[in-house]
Each structure stands twice: as C-alpha cells, then as structure tokens.
Amino acid sequence: MSPHTIAILGGGPGGYEAALVAAQLGADVTVVDSDGLGGACVLTDCVPSKTLIETSNAMTLLNRSAGLGIATGGLATVNAARLYERITDLARAQSADITARLAAEGIKVIKAKGSLAGPGVVKAGDAEIKAETILVATGALPRLLPGAPPDGERILTWRQLYDLTELPRDLIVIGSGVTGAEFASGYQALGSRVTLVSSRDRVLPQEDEDAASHIEDVFRRGGMTVLSRSRAEHVARDHHGVTVTLDDGRTLTGTHCLLTVGMIPRTEGCGLDQAGVKVDARGFIHVDRVSRTSVPGVYAAGDCTGVQMLASVAAMQGRIAMWHALGEAVHPLRLDHVAATIFTDPEIATVGVTQRAVTAGEVSARVLKLPLATNPRAKMAGVTDGFVKLLSSPGTGVILGGVIVAPRASELILAVSMAVEQRLTVEQLAQTFAVYPSLSGSLTEAARKLMEFPPDIL
C-alpha cells in the first residue's frame, strides 16, 4: 500500500510541524516554500524580535545593577550593527536547523511559491504535485497604514527593522497592540526615545486590564510618551527623520516610525477562489477546530486562518490537521487553554478564563491578585513591578485561568497552564512544593489565599 501523499504550502510553524507529524506517521510529504523554512516566524518575526528583546532585557539588568551593589562605571551602550547581525545570524541558524530536521525525516522541500491548481493538485513553480491531503499554511503580512508607505529606512514595518545599521534615536511606534507594545518596551530599554501612538484608551486594549494598565504605568515611568485615543493619519519622511500627523492635526517628529497596525492573510495567488476554499470578509481562511477548510481534503493552519495568531497555535493547528487527515485520534483545538505571552518588560503571560469574562458575568469565578513586590526572590532581584492573578471556580476550586506580570512570566505561566489543562484545584496547587525563594512561590501563595476566601467572594 502506497503512503498517503501530503502537500504543504508554507514552511512556517504550521507547515513544518505538520510535515514532521505526517512524516512520522508514514506519509509522503512535500513542503512548498519560497522564503526559507521556519517562515516569517523564524526569519523576520518571532525569533528576531525576541532576540532583540533578550538584549533589551540584558540592558535593563545592567542599568538596574547599581541598586544591587554592582558598580558598572557608567551606562552600557548598544552596538547596533552587532546586535542586528546577531539577530539575523540566529534566525538563519534556526531556519537551517529546521531544514536539517525535515531532511532527516525524508520530507521533500521545493523552493517555490505554491498554489492550489485543482482537486488534489498543488502547483509549485513549474511543477505539479498530486496530493491526497493539502495543508495551506502561508502565514500573514503586516497590514499597511494608508498614508504611511514603508520605505525600509525611516518608515518601517517590524520585518524591516533588522536591515537598520543604527538604533532609532527617536522612535514613533504606531499601534499599541502586542507587537507595538513589545517593540516600544524593547527599544526604550535599548536607549531609544519612544513615543507610542494608541488609538484606544490604553495600551494592549485586548489584554487583561490590570496587566495592561500596569505595563502602561511602567512605560510612562520609564520615560516613554504614550498618546492615548490618538490615531495616525499620515507619515512623511525627509533626510533627517519622519513627521507623523494625527487625525486631530497634531504632529510628531522622530528619526524613525514603526508601523504595528495588524496583519492581513498572505493568501493572494494561492488559488483559494478557484478551489472553492471559503474565506472571511478580511480574507482569512475559514477552518473548524480540526483545521478543515470548506473543501474536503484541504486543511489550513497558522496566521492565514486568523485564529489566535501565535506560533504555538499555528503549530498545533498543523499537527491536528495531520492527525485528523491520517486517521489518528485527535483533540479539537481549544483556544481557552492556549497560554500566551507579551514580551514587554515585565512580561505578561495569560491562560484560560479572563477577568473580562468574569466582570461581564459570563463566568463565575473567585479572583485573587497578589503583588510581586511581596515575593522575597523579587526583592532580591530588585524587582518591584508585577503581580500574579489566579481565577478559580467558586464551587469546586478548579483553577480556571491566570495572569502573570513578571520577569520570565513566559516560563512561570506553564504551571497555571497545566493546572487549567488538567483541571487542578487551588488546594492541589497550594499543596505543591515551590522552591524558596522563587518567583513561582507567588503562585502557590496565591492558591493558599484563594483557599481562605469565603464562598460568596467572586
């Protein structure tokens, strides 16, 4: 019996993780990719941005070291050319590792732009591939702002930052969602003067309100200018910098402008219309919880679906698609169990039921918020910003969700994520040993405090 044939359009997390699963299950897999394995996530988005943020975190520690009794002899400075070189080198190395892993699994890779060319047929350049199952994982592109065409020098999308040879002296960031907040935080720590333009009442408008307000306060105390309820209409450049015009007539000047105003699906030219694959009004591919599109045998994963745009979600969508297509037992995607992190300083990590849902009366929950400043390990490190928030069921004590604002919150959230996934109770978490002293000790302390709540506290 010949192996099941699978063609995957796109080599990002949704594509290459799906390819690995399918190959391990004995399928004949071909990946069609034009940009390099790892996709935008590895080459221009997640890996590069978090590498830059790691450097900014190191700068924060250096600048805080005097309070810990360390004499540095002056402020540290950033070698921008070396920083950007390291970022791009690391991204290429990660892509090379993925390429080597797919080759070791016997997965064929065709460097070309792929498209659907009929039932069970993918066109890859001049070649045609027949496949029983097709996965579309072509990702997304930065949305552009009318009146602000990026030039890659002064007016930039985040995918163009790493071509610079210097740090922006005065950076205007348009958009205060996750990407805007992360870069604003990172560049402020690296020494840039940052102005963050937010069209909403606060930064990170879709996130936990306590966490977003806390981060905005950190931004302002650090010297960042945050303009709320301000919308950029036009960006112009000259030899020295940029001028941003807001919708109320105000103007801002800086050396560089970074556009972070959302994403659009990268599906143009993929043959979706001809194949009958349904998309929504914004062009994102409709999928169900096992990654099926409207066309039998065609699946989709990652940012092109518009489903929570995280690398971890893309990878899981791709894996689920292959398990389903190849007849394996599969659990449909559960977005309420997805852990997510915003890599500001401090980081924000969340999972499960939100405070917003509790406040709106959609979910009944006990909520406890514990400041990180009371944690002994935080005191030792000179950390005063941050908190831990747990949400639990009033009746059963089952942990429903959590929010962590802290250094390395991305690591700390795993304990809460496991509790949500496995339906652990606050009592079970409270009775779990935490190292003393540790930041994770605040999680068990919060659980103990939740056990003390009278039944009517919500």
CB 402 within 8 A of CB 442: no
What's the CA gap between 442 and 413, in Å, rounded? 12
Side by side, the strands of the sheet bearing 242-246 are 232-237, 242-246, 251-254
HSE of 215, CA atoms in CB hemisphere, 13 A? 31
> How far apart (Å, rounded) are the C-alpha atoms in residues 169 and 435?
42
The Cα–Cα gap between 458 and 360 comes to: 12
pLDDT at 74 over 70: no
Is residue 456 scored above 60 in pLDDT? Answer: no
At residue 458, the pLDDT reads 39
**Cα–chain-centroid distance for residue 261?**
14
| H/E run at residue 419 | helix 409-422
DSSP letters for 4-25:
PEEEEE--SHHHHHHHHHHHHT
Q: How far is CA 387 from the centre of its chain?
A: 21
Give the model's confidence band at 453: pLDDT under 50 very low, under 70 low, under 90 confident, else very high: low
Q: Range with the lowest mean pLDDT among 32-46, 62-76, 119-133, 332-346?
A: 62-76
State the pLDDT at residue 15: 98
Distance CA 452, CA 69 (A): 39
Q: What share of the chain is helix, strand, coil (3-state, %, to 5)?
A: 35, 25, 40
Model confidence at 353: pLDDT above 80: yes
Beta bridge partner(s), residue 5: 28
Residue 103 has pLDDT above 60, yes or no: yes
Output phi, psi for 456, to 5 deg. -90, 5
Residues 384-421 have pLDDT tens digits of: 999 999 999 999 999 999 999 999 999 999 999 999 99
pLDDT of res. 455? 44
Instruction: Report the alpha-carbon distance of residue 243 to residue 247 in Å, rounded.
Output: 13
Count of C-beta atoms within a 10 Å radius of residue 103: 12
Which tens digits make up the pLDDT trace of 170-224?
999 999 999 999 999 999 999 999 999 999 999 999 999 999 999 999 999 999 9
Q: Which residues pair with residue 402 across a beta bridge?
A: 351, 390
The residues facing 245 across adjacent strands are 234, 251
Distances (CA, A) of 358 to 208, 211, 336, 350: 11, 15, 14, 15
- The phi and psi torsions of 287 (rounded to 5 degrees) equal -135, 155
CA 68 to each of CA 372, 381, 383, 436: distance values in angstroms, whole numbers, following the listed order: 18, 7, 11, 20
Using an 8 Å Cβ cutoff, are 17 and 336 in contact?
no
Q: Would you state the pLDDT for residue 457?
A: 42
Question: In the prediction, which pLDDT does 452 show?
Answer: 81
Does the pLDDT value for residue 66 go beyond 60?
A: yes
Please answer whether residues 128 and 122 qualify as being in contact, where contact means their C-beta atoms are separated by less than 8 angstroms. Answer: yes
Output the CA torsion sign for 363, 365, 371, 377. Answer: negative
Render pLDDT for 215-273 as a digit per residue (tens, 0 to 9): 999 999 999 999 999 999 999 998 889 999 999 999 999 999 999 999 999 999 999 99
Give me the numbers of helices (H) and strands (E) for the chain, helices first please.
13, 23
- Of the CA atoms within 13 Å of residue 6, those in its CB half-sphere come to 34
pLDDT single digits (tens) 281-320: 999 999 999 999 999 999 999 999 999 999 999 999 999 9
**Token digits for 303?**
């940012």
| Cα separation, 322 vs 69, whole angstroms | 54
Residue 366's Cβ-side half-sphere holds a number of Cα atoms within 13 Å equal to: 23
Return the structure tokens found at 456. 């009517």
Q: What is the pLDDT averaged over residues 110-128? A: 94
* pLDDT for 116 beyond 70: yes
For residue 179, give both structure tokens: 């990407």
Determine what percent of the chain is predicted with pLDDT higher than 70. 98
